[in-house]
A and B are shown apart, each in its own frame.
Chain A
Amino acid sequence: MTSLNEEVFPDQASNVPVRKVTIRINGENRSANVEPRLLLAHLIRQGFNLTGTHTGCDTSNCGACTVLFDGQPIKSCTMLAIQADGHDVMTVEGLATASELHPIQEGFKDEHGLQCGFCTPGMMLTAKALLDENPDPTEDEVRWALSGNLCRCTGYQNIVKSVMWAARKINNQAAN
């Protein structure tokens, strides 16, 4: 079990009330002692060492910190870690299996859907939620779904192509 206070609040680590939270993260139950004001993004990154979740703007704008919370995309910098107690969270580390990339990851690779890669984890998880709900989206629907995720490199064109690529691959797999 992790206690985050020494790391996140080094000046105030002692005498601070903490609560135990247990989160099912990428299919595995993980527990940590957290102070109520700890944000979910920081528990994921610093407590669970899952650094694929990025924090960009830190003010709920950019979507780099997006994770799936009970299957739905949320901005983990805008949720308290304690709120996730007992819930299911998926981070970008949960997309691939030990041997295979997720079709969305393959799509981003194949269609050059990233340059610096900072926004990519959030983009991919938002895309996963979209394809789970709507396996055959139009390009407009992809753009609409991704409108809460900001990218400052590629100009979105290839990101949209990557998601369309993944949709085709998933549908082909389902058909065969």
Chain B
Amino acid sequence: MYPTRFNYESPKSIAEAIALLHQGGGEAKILAGGQSLVPMMRLRFAAPEMIVDINNIPGLDYLTVDADGTIHIGALCRHSDLEKSSLLMAHQPTMAAAAPVIADPIVRNRGTLVGSLCHADPQGDWSSVMMALGGIVVAQGPNGRRSIPAADFVKGPFQNMLAFDEIAIEAIVPAPKGIPNGGYLKLERRVGDFATAGVAVAVESSQGLIIRAGIGLTGVGGSTINATAAAQSLVGAPLTAGSIAHAADLAAQAAQPRSDHRGSASYKRQIVKTFVVRILSGVVESMERAA
């Protein structure tokens, strides 16, 4: 199994990479971690004419937190960097929960969060997480930079909003207005398999009330699902058994699972419901501990 023949370019700067993409005219592809792209090329689902390897561009592997709590994840920040980050443990429970369950430990050493968002696999974990967090993708092209909300970034299965000559250079999680809490749960048949179903929940609380909520669903639709009605139902009130059950029902309704070898549609819907309840019950416990 070999990829089709391609031209390999290894730019040393973002500007050079953008120029190469422009020159490629839509037939060029960025290679970051390559953990999805290379297998797809080998299986010939993808056959780019040009590979623009960004691994030699310095300064893209950062993970930083601003004083106000804004998190910046560079295009070459690997899943394993996120998994080992004490910053995330302290500041971002939804991301901290997701990082250790991405793919498998070896793949995590290469794969990147930004690359995963760009790949826009309906079963990709980070898209749900960034949707739940109200995250932003920063794209850079010949005409400068623009910010794209993670909720709009995924256009469909394996389709993102980038123009052919734009690079996603970082992902941003905006500063929380309250205390961030939440989690990520995924059911997989074995480590490294695609998700049967996954749920990302991110909430912010202030004085016992939920002031912001986001819920993203993995692997239960044609693309990542933003369960907005479920999330909105939580805002402006404290978390109670009743409000959690209601949000879980709404999230299960938002899911559009298909029956396949990983499980029936109704089973996957049930998983979504169960995971929302589990994560939010955990949030209640941690809020009670903190109070």
Q: Which residues of A contact B (CB under 8 A)?
A: 8-9, 16, 19, 35-37, 39, 58-61, 63, 66, 69, 72-75, 78-80, 82-83, 126, 144-149
Contacts and interface: CB of A to CB of B under 8 A. Distances in A.
A147 B105 contact: yes
Contact of A83 (B1, B7, B39, B55): B55
B43 A59 contact: yes
A36 B39 CA distance: 15
Contact of A148 (B7, B38, B107): B107
A148 B192 contact: yes
A75 B107 contact: yes
Contacts of A126: 105-106
A39 B8 CA distance: 13
Interface of B: 1-8, 10, 31, 34-35, 38-39, 41-43, 51, 53, 55, 80, 103-107, 109-110, 191-192
A74 B109 contact: yes
Nearest to B33: A78
Given A37-B2, A148-B106, A149-B106, A61 B192 contact: yes
B5 A78 contact: no
Contact of B39 (A60, A82, A145): A60
A136 B18 CA distance: 46
B106 A79 contact: no
A147 B3 contact: no
Nearest to B50: A36
Nearest to A145: B105
A72 B38 contact: no
Given A37-B3, A39-B2, 13 more contacts: A19-B8, A37-B4, A37-B6, A37-B41, A73-B109, A75-B107, A75-B110, A78-B107, A79-B38, A80-B51, A126-B105, A147-B192, A148-B192
B1 A74 contact: no
B38 A36 contact: no
Contact of B110 (A59, A78, A146): A78
